[in-house]
Amino acid sequence: MRETAKPLRSGELARLTGVSTDTLRHYERLGILPAAPRTTAGYRMYAPDAPERVHLVRQAMRLGFTLDELTEILGARDRGEVPCGRVLAMMEAKLGALEQRIRELREAQRAMQALVRNWRVQLQRTPRGSKAGLLQSLTTKADLPAGAPEHLKRRKQT
């Protein structure tokens, strides 16, 4: 049934995958996406499996792979090599890092919970507008784990 199929334009691919066309171009520049063939007018024509590739990239990023790493891995794959072993190794490393990171964050969480509980009480029994020294307490009960912060900022991937 399906013929050689209709190529996608960049905007369509973007919509299908939830990334901006800018980002698609960016990936192409890095070699993460193969250079798409062009129409005579210079428009990119993406093969129907392009969304899958983009999806792959996003999933991998979600697991902590960087664009550089993906360039490396996917490049190898595109060259016909079989990077599976390498990928597995990287994956295991990523997983280790992730576990480590989760441990750190749990520690920070614990500390924060204690702090918040404490502060709520402190604040309540403090008259009004007189300093309860909440901040100050941070310096004294300096028992938080090392190296936890980093970022818990942006959660939407635009």
Binder of its own copies out of 4, 26, 115, 125 (CB under 8 A):
115
Handedness of CA 42, 21, 69, 47 (dihedral sign): negative
Binder of DNA out of 43, 48, 56, 81 (CB under 7 A):
43
Binder of DNA out of 7, 16, 21, 76 (CB under 7 A):
21
| C-alpha to C-alpha distance for 54 and 51, rounded to whole angstroms | 5
Residue among 7 and 83 whose Cβ is closer to DNA: 7
Give the binding range for its own copies (CB under 8 A) out of 3-11, 19-27, 33-41, 96-104: 96-104
Which is nearest to 5 in space by CA: 48, 53, 44? 48
Centroid of chain to Cα 126: 43
Work out how close the CB of 59 gets to its own copies at its nearest, in angstroms, rounded to a whole number: 5
* Tokens describing residue 72: 């490396």
